[in-house]
């Protein structure tokens, strides 16, 4: 069977349906949340789109209150099912896009849109993979279930609901990482570290007052923009402007400023990256704070700036927090601070998105963080926790996927780990399988996100073969 030819013969249909899905603005929207669409109107529309596509193909479908849905093909009386898990929600749009992020556009063999690679393109590849198996009338011993989640980019509440309502799969994969096979995932700790409330009416005893500071849109992205509003005497603000020009030039950063109501507004532009790879980005918030902390501030401002700089600047591995660690299977612990805020009339905090190797535990990390932040009079909000995940290399699914990858690419399928939190970790025998090939650029969560059309077709072929193999796996 030439699986790649089967995928190529369906290229026009794949692109047509994928463009339709990418045109849906499926960002979490609590303002339009309602019964049947708990994540908001756009995400509910994307779920309906995929389920209607699957139903038209003859797959059995189920929609659990707009939170999670699935489509199934194969013998209804089969004892086991194999899961293929993808998500239809996308992160918010940020940065400058060449074309509108929800108006899919093809340029130079690439399809550009928010969600193209994360994760709507792979979701569509999985659908067409199962369609190829069905079109060819290939036998299946187990059911194949395409599961579509709606809250992957935030809390994975969709998968928690799924596990409450549905039996577990025998095994499965998610097309939401990279090839060859990601069999280990780091654990995660997500929490806000809160500063004590600023005392109203306190005397401003420094040269400057930080009126406000904001950086970041979501916790699992390296923030590419930050803004600080600073008050002070005119001559001191002028001096700060000149120093900011020098700092940006020397540090090779992009900064700008403006005068607003006798205050100066400083803007910093960084480089966005996924929160699991903070070393690939430039945190605009931390870069701006590192400049500001060298000056004389009122007590509340100074505490915020100096503390954040001490605990987070130029340190994505948690050394200053006293939590650095790594192992041979899943690599080093990483820390991303995707949200930073100083508001003397409200909340002041920094968020940490911490990803730790399988050698670590929640208890030891939370104990160390709590001790370190207590020195700075900070408090930790109740954290969101995710356990590390690992599937042993001798599992029959691993061997089947390795053989599939070798047959379709000619390359050995080495086992990988990731700092990302995919749906695979929700099931004891789940792995991530593609869609990116080794060395390929990932534009997930970034401006001008894209998927290469050739990648889309090759991953569809690989998934079709994988579905056929896993659907007949000896369990």
- Over the stretch 336-362, which tens digit does the pLDDT of each residue have? 999 999 999 899 999 999 999 999 999
Query: What is the DSSP secondary-structure string of 404-441?
Result: HHHHHHSS---EEEESS--GGGGSTTEEE--EEPTTPP
pTM: 0.75
The domain spanning residue 416 has which CATH number?
A: 3.40.630.10
Domain termination site, one of 338, 359, 386: 386
The dihedral sign for the CA sequence 213, 151, 93, 45: negative
- Determine what percent of the chain is predicted with pLDDT higher than 90: 88
Same domain, 32 and 148: yes
> Is 89 marked active-site?
yes
Position 261 scores a pLDDT of 81
Peptide bond connecting 149 to the previous residue in cis, omega within 30 degrees of 0: no
Same domain, 409 and 398: yes
Same domain, 228 and 242: yes
In a domain, 475, yes or no: no
Same domain, 181 and 193: no
Position 201 scores a pLDDT of 44
Same domain, 232 and 353: yes
Same domain, 338 and 243: yes
Instruction: Look up the domain containing 92 and give its range.
Output: 3-185+388-470
Domain termination site, one of 386, 403, 428: 386
Taking the C-alpha atoms of 238, 244, 249 and 252 in order, what is their torsion angle to the nearest 10 degrees?
A: -160
What is the per-residue pLDDT across 29-69, written as a single tens digit (0 to 9) for each? 999 999 999 999 999 999 999 999 999 999 999 999 999 99
Same domain, 394 and 440: yes
Position 203 scores a pLDDT of 57
Which position among 72, 151, 152, 298 bears the catalytic label?
152
Query: What is the DSSP secondary-structure string of 302-345?
Result: HHHHHHHHHHHTT-TT-TTTT---EETTTEE-EEE---EEE-TT
204 pLDDT band, cuts 50/70/90, is low
Same domain, 174 and 223: no
Number of domains in the chain: 2
Position 328 scores a pLDDT of 87
199 pLDDT band, cuts 50/70/90, is low
Which position among 72, 89, 153, 298 bears the catalytic label?
89
Burial bucket for residue 88 (CB in 10 Å: 0-12, 13-18, 19+) = buried
Overall average pLDDT of the 83-98 stretch: 95
């Amino acid at each position: 069977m030439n699986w790649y030819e089967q995928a190529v013969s369906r290229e026009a249909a794949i692109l047509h349906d994928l463009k339709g899905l990418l045109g849906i603005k499926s960002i979490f929207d609590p303002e339009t949340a309602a019964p049947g669409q708990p994540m908001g109107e756009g995400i509910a529309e994307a779920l309906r789109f995929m389920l209607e596509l699957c139903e038209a193909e003859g797959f059995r479908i189920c929609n659990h209150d707009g939170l999670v849905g699935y489509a199934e093909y194969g013998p209804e009386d089969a004892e086991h099912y194999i899961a293929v898990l993808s998500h239809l929600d996308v992160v918010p749009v940020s940065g400058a896009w060449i074309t509108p992020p929800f108006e899919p556009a093809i340029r130079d063999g690439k399809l550009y849109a928010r969600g193209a690679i994360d994760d709507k393109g792979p979701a569509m590849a999985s659908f067409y993979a199962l369609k190829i198996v069905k079109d060819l009338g290939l036998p299946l011993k187990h059911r194949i279930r395409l599961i579509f989640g709606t809250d992957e980019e935030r809390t994975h509440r969709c998968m928690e609901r799924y596990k409450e309502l549905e039996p577990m799969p025998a095994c499965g994969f998610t097309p939401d990482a990279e090839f060859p096979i990601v069999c280990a995932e780091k654990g995660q700790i997500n929490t806000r570290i809160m500063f004590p409330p600023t005392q109203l009416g306190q005397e401003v005893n420094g040269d400057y007052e930080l009126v406000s500071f904001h950086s970041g849109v979501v916790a699992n992205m390296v923030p590419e923009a930050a803004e600080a509003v600073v008050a002070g005497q005119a001559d001191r603000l002028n001096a700060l402007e000149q120093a900011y020009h020098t700092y940006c030039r020397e540090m090779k950063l992009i900064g700008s400023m403006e005068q607003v109501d006798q205050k100066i507004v400083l803007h910093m532009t960084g480089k966005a990256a996924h929160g699991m790879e903070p070393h690939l980005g430039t945190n605009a918030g931390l870069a701006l704070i590192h400049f500001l902390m060298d000056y004389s501030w009122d007590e509340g401002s100074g505490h915020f700036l100096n503390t954040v700089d001490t605990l987070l600047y130029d340190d994505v591995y948690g050394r200053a927090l006293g939590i650095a660690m790594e192992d041979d299977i899943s690599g080093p612990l990483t820390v991303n601070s995707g949200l930073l805020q100083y508001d003397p009339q409200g909340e002041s905090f920094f968020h940490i998105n911490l990803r730790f190797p399988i050698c670590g535990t929640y208890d030891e990390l939370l104990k160390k963080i709590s001790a370190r932040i207590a020195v700075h009079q900070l408090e930790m909000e109740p954290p969101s926790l995710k356990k590390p995940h690992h599937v042993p290399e001798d599992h029959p699914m691993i061997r089947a996927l390795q053989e599939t990858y070798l047959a379709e690419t000619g390359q050995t399928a080495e086992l990988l780990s990731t700092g990302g939190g995919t749906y695979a970790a929700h099931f004891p025998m789940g792995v991530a399988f593609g869609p990116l090939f080794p060395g390929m650029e990932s534009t997930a969560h970034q401006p001008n996100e894209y998927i290469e059309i050739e990648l889309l077709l090759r991953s569809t072929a690989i998934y079709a073969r994988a579905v056929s193999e896993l659907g007949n796996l000896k369990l």
